[in-house]
Structure formats: structure tokens, C-alpha cells
Amino acid sequence: MARLKSGRTGQAPLDESRMRALYRFTARTLNTSRPVPFGALIVHTRTGKPLMQATNAVMRENDPSSHAEVRTVRLACKKLKRPSLVGYTMYSTCEPCPMCMANALWARLDRVVYGATIADASRHCFQIHIPARQVARRADMPCIVDGPVLRDLCVMLFTHPNMQKAFRTWSSSRTKAKNL
């Protein structure tokens, strides 16, 4: 069964530093025509060396599976030329949804660290309300899930005026799709 808590001392300052960097990377989208609040970063667990980072591209790619975490895992595996990310940790600006957490487990990530919670995201856009820890707990593959880390900072990605405008557009698109 999955390990749930890291219990490691000294991890918090590193986690906060990496989450801050990921926040800055993701926040750059807020001043584009397609802002997104979801970003992910994969680093080597032992050295902290960054491997890959990406943001959500669901709307840009018209692909509902193009979440930041899934995209980052795909790109990282391609870069390493292998399907396993054992020895790596993923940081995400938001708690991974069940699809993203399952993907992290299949990729055999050592650890997942998140900022905002699923409940935070749900205030702004649709979510599946199954916590990442619960998905990890029910898996055969071990993965530590830590968070929230810098939650308030990551929530700011959702509350930025340009992001709020995008959410309204997403909502009207969903309403139109229901009526088809």
C-alpha cells in the first residue's frame, strides 16, 4: 500500500522554494490569451534538479486529458526515454485530480506535493472530489502525497482577474455544450 506522509525533516523549505518557482512559471500564463491556474514541475527527488514543467493545455489542445500533471509526466518520460519516474517528485499548483494522481502512480513517482486543494479549485471550475491521498492509499504503487504547501499563494492563481474571466468563458462553453 502507498506511503502517505514523508516524515522527513527539512523538506518544507525545499518544498516551498519549488512551489514558489512553479507558481511564478504558472502565473506567466495569466497575462496571455489562455490563462491557466494549473502547473506541474518534476524534479529529481535526491538532487532537486528540475526535469520538466508544464501547464494545463485542455482548452489550447481541445484535449480533456491535457492536465498539467499528465503533460509533465508525458514530457518527462519522453525526455528520459522510459515510462518510469522512480526517483522523481512532482509539484503541482493544485491537488491532482484522480486521473492525474493515477498517472503519477503509474509513472511510479516517489512523491507528489500540491498547493491549492481540490476544494479550492472547485470554487472556480469543475472537479472530481476524490482526494489525491485517497487515490494513493488505494494503489499498489507507493507514493507520498504532501500538501497543501503555499496554499494561499497557489489559490491566487485561481482568483486573478484574468483567470476569473477565463473561468466565465469556460462556464459559458459548458452551458452551450449541454444545450446541444
Q: Which residues are catalytic?
A: 69
The Cα 62–Cα 17 span in angstroms is: 32
The Cα 90–Cα 67 span in angstroms is: 13
Say if CB 117 and CB 148 are below 8 A apart: yes
Grid coordinates representing 114 are: 500540491
- The closest of 144, 121, 148, 179 to 5, measured between CA atoms, is 144
